[in-house]
Amino acid sequence: MAWNRSQDPEPASASPRPQSGGGSRPSTLGPSISIKGDLTGSEDLQIEGSVKGTIRLEKHSLFIAKSARIKADIFSRSICVEGEVKGNLYGEEQITIRSSGKLEGNITAPSVTLENGAKFRGSIDMEPPPKHQEKGDRDRPAAKPLGKATPAGSTAASPAAANG
């Protein structure tokens, strides 16, 4: 009897899980695993436990399960959050906060999805960092000058009004 996708015992899911390049399942940190410190890797990862520190999977995907509790800055190719995260997220490609996800921190990625019901407190920057930034400078986004909002029709922001 030939294997058929419809016979797969694992139900299809609407939320994609990271897959390694060879189609294998990502590594998993189970719900009883707790890490304090820096977590780095060269493969896709699913976290179900807790991490406090920094997570660096810069060329790979990270999935944060509903049971996960993270207090870390995260650097990854793509990040999907279903659990709780306190920290800044930096995604090379995309960041998704699912309806069950909760993020308290800033997001930097070219593509960002916040599903209905997601809890988010922070800012979103969808501009890539300048190409001339050094590798060590990627840890924090480039500083941008803040503008001051003025009401429409105000002459305070008009250069002509200031010059005469």
Domain-embedded: residue 59: yes
When divided into structural domains, the chain yields a total of 1
Domain-embedded: residue 86: yes
CA 48, CA 36: separation in Å to the nearest integer? Answer: 15
CA 100, CA 103: separation in Å to the nearest integer? Answer: 10
pLDDT at 129: 61
pLDDT at 90: 96
Range of the domain at 92: 17-118
Nearest to 89 by CA among 111, 72, 113, 65: 72
Domain-embedded: residue 144: no
CA 14, CA 150: separation in Å to the nearest integer? Answer: 44
Domain-embedded: residue 160: no
Residue with tokens 């896709």: 44
Domain-embedded: residue 37: yes
Domain-embedded: residue 34: yes
Domain-embedded: residue 31: yes
SS3 27: strand
The rounded average pLDDT for each run of 10 residues, N- to C-terminus, in the chain (164 residues) is 39 40 75 95 96 95 97 97 98 97 97 96 84 49 40 38 41
SS3 15: coil
pLDDT at 163: 43
* Beta-carbon count within 10 A of 153 CB: 6
pTM, entire model:
0.66
97 burial (CB, 10 Å; 0-12 / 13-18 / 19+) is buried
Domain-embedded: residue 143: no
